[in-house]
Structure 1
């Protein structure tokens, strides 16, 4: 069964997020260090939390893998990806790992 890893960057007072660095550099690091194990990646930039509401998240990255073993292998190579976080944000990202059901 396919599994997904979602990395969620919540917005709160005093936090920052550099979309240019994230899209031009960080995503390439993900591909370089984790890419051989990834099936698909989707990154969503937050623009709203509903009608007339600000977004609650800067971005959500959804990465899908064929199975738990592929995700585990990808995470073993994720050290440089995690070390890169301070280069584009001061947010402590949240993660959600789950089974893909739809």
Structure 2
């Protein structure tokens, strides 16, 4: 069964997010480091949290891995990706590890 990792970047007062760097540099790095282990990847820019409500997140990345073993192997290579985060945001990312059920 496929495994997923979602990385959520909260949009709170005083935080910033450099979308250009994220798209052109960080996501390419994710593909280079984790690509062989992944089935798919999707990045979403937060626009709203509902009518007349600002978004709760700058962005959410959804990464789907072939299976749990592939995700574990990829996580062992995460250091350069984690080290890159301060280059595009000052928010503390949240993560959700899951099993793809639909």
TM range (shorter): over 0.9
Q: How many residues align?
A: 102
State the alpha-carbon separation in 1 of the partners of residues 58 and 31 from structure 2: 21
Deviations 1:26-83 (A, max 9, x none): 0011011111101100101000001111100000000001111000111111111110
Q: CA RMSD in A?
A: 0.6
TM-score normalised by the chain length of structure 1: 0.97
Deviation >2 Å, runs of 4+: none
* 1:77 aligned partner: 77
1:4 matched to 2:19: no
* 2:30 aligned partner: 30
Uncovered stretches (5+) of structure 1, i.e. residues with no partner: none
State the alpha-carbon separation in 1 of the partners of residues 66 and 84 from structure 2: 25
1:42 matched to 2:42: yes
TM-score normalised by the chain length of structure 2: 0.97
* 2:87 aligned partner: 87
State the alpha-carbon separation in 2 of the partners of residues 34 and 99 from structure 1: 18
